Amino acid sequence: MQQAESMTPIERRAAVSLAAVFAFRMLGLFMVLPVLATYGQHLDGATPLLIGVAIGAYGFTQALLQIPFGMLSDRIGRKPVIIGGLLLFALGGLVAAQADSMLGVVMGRILQGAGAIAAAIMALVADLTRDEHRTKAMAMIGMSIGVSFGVAMIAGPLIASVAGLSGVFYVTVALALVGLALVTWVVPTPTLALQHREAGVVRSALMPALRNPELLRLNYGIGALHAILMASFVAIPLALQDHAGLPTSQHWWVYLSALLVSFVAMVPAIIYAERKRRVKQVLLAAVALLAAVQGMIWLNLDSLNGLVVAIVVYFTAFNLLEATLPSLLSKIAPPGAKGTAMGVYSTSQFIGAALGGALGGAAYGEFGLGGVFLLCGLLALSWLMIGVTMKQPPYVKSYRLPLPDAPFRDEALLRRILAVPGVAEAVIVAEEAAAYIKVDTQVLDREALDRVLQPA
């Protein structure tokens, strides 16, 4: 817990290059969202249901393979799994780009999702960074995801206006190949792949994570949030084009405006939630706003100005929730089980994406755009009802502390760590020679903790 040295050049290279790999892959997945509903309706066999399935299809294979690929990387190495996943992603983009039917696009999106490398990338970050810098490296990856989403919302419509839907998919292939080059020649190769409980899934922690009611609420929430996102992209591009009269090639400025305003608007809410320790209240307010804005979008379908304002409000609620939920998970997950909890959380997110696209397409086919927004509103209200019952989260941070010689790693040490003011939870993992602790930084006695960790 003493002052850490700065990141080494190898650590900085690892963090930046892996964040770029993650960003290129997510950019390829997201870039299709704002254009598939409009450009895809001209493909053979296109129906509202199939368009919705294509939008969320990547989630089926992501959910199925996310945790197994992470565990496989413990056995055969991180880079082989990441390279294999990027090849699958590129192959999926190629299949979708060359498809002349919506069914072909669905198959391509399923293949893209099979490149489920997120867990392996996180584990590689943990292999290549020291404990005191790991959170910083993970934060860089988190930021890269947010940036890639914003760029995708703008780039997708611009590329499609020039090269069509197939052009968008060819760009995703190129992005996957750039990622392959980075992994092969830029990302450092670890000398040893270790199992990190804060970055990877641990089998012994899996069932407790699945039984934890607070974690289950978060899993439902992220699933509902991404179901709403995918269903929305069945309807919002069509609302802008067919009702508000905005050509698809001009949709980029709507998304750019919405993302810029929403990022600025959500920052004060995040600061308030953390400083005033009101995360639950801010979360529930954002979910309620997400539910209410569905009606706002519906009522403004024929007004471009009103629709743009509603989309801004929608993205403000979405981005606030997307930023708040991982922070809540970090607070709630038991010490030494954050990686496992995050694996289940990510799987729930992808299940939600898959179901949301299919349900959104089905709702549009049966009831029109109003049916999609009604579906999204009901999903948000169901989440609100579940979220009201959540407990106020503990305001703690997680640390992994290397421990001294083996004889010192005993139950007596655990009791001494727990006795330090500000330490809320702790667990010793002897095989890692480490302690995982959760602390309230406002009351933690750092000097006392450092003394406890020194050999007698």
pLDDT of residue 361: 97
In a domain, 323, yes or no: yes
Together in a domain, 239 and 383: yes
pLDDT of residue 159: 96
- CA 449 to CA 195: how far, in whole Å? 25
DSSP label at residue 242: I
DSSP label at residue 439: E
pLDDT of residue 405: 64
Together in a domain, 288 and 210: yes
- CA 321 to CA 280: how far, in whole Å? 11
Determine the residue type at 353: A
Determine the residue type at 170: Y
The phi, psi pair for 53, rounded to 5°, reads -60, -40
Together in a domain, 164 and 291: no
pLDDT of residue 192: 67
The reported pTM is 0.93
Q: Residues 287, 387: contact at Cβ < 8 Å?
A: yes
Together in a domain, 246 and 134: no
pLDDT of residue 139: 82
pLDDT of residue 277: 86
Together in a domain, 221 and 88: no
- CA 69 to CA 24: how far, in whole Å? 19
Together in a domain, 251 and 382: yes
- CA 354 to CA 439: how far, in whole Å? 37
Q: Residues 293, 313: contact at Cβ < 8 Å?
A: yes
Q: What angle do CA 253, 255, 258 make, to 5 degrees?
A: 105
Together in a domain, 121 and 210: no
Determine the residue type at 401: L
Together in a domain, 248 and 177: no
pLDDT of residue 35: 96
Domain boundary among the residues 200, 225, 251 is at 200
In a domain, 195, yes or no: yes
From residue 268, give the alpha-carbon distance in Å to each of 265, 275, 448: 7, 10, 34
Domain boundary among the residues 161, 181, 200 is at 200
- CA 230 to CA 376: how far, in whole Å? 10
- CA 438 to CA 440: how far, in whole Å? 7
In a domain, 2, yes or no: no
In a domain, 275, yes or no: yes
From residue 305, give the alpha-carbon distance in Å to each of 254, 302, 309, 310: 10, 9, 6, 9
CATH number at residue 403: 3.30.70.100
In a domain, 443, yes or no: yes
In a domain, 1, yes or no: no
Together in a domain, 134 and 161: yes
* Domain count across the chain: 3
pLDDT of residue 409: 57
Domain boundary among the residues 362, 377, 395 is at 395
First to last CA, the chain: 18
CATH number at residue 280: 1.20.1250.20
Together in a domain, 332 and 424: no
pLDDT in tens, the chain (456 residues): 544 568 888 989 999 999 999 999 999 999 999 999 999 999 999 999 999 999 999 999 999 999 899 889 888 889 999 999 999 999 999 999 999 999 999 999 999 999 999 989 988 888 888 777 777 888 888 888 888 999 999 999 999 999 999 999 999 999 999 999 999 999 998 876 666 677 777 787 888 888 999 999 999 999 999 999 999 999 999 999 999 999 999 999 999 999 999 989 998 999 998 888 899 999 999 999 999 999 999 999 999 999 999 999 999 999 999 989 988 998 898 888 888 888 999 999 999 999 999 999 999 999 999 999 999 999 999 999 999 999 988 888 888 887 766 555 577 888 888 888 988 888 888 777 788 888 888 888 888 888 887 765
pLDDT of residue 201: 79
pLDDT of residue 193: 63
Q: Which residue has tokens 């012994």?
A: 204
Together in a domain, 15 and 45: yes
Q: Residues 34, 27: contact at Cβ < 8 Å?
A: no
pLDDT of residue 54: 97
Together in a domain, 259 and 380: yes
Q: Residues 172, 36: contact at Cβ < 8 Å?
A: no
In a domain, 3, yes or no: no
In a domain, 279, yes or no: yes
Residue-number span of the structural domain to which 417 is assigned: 397-452
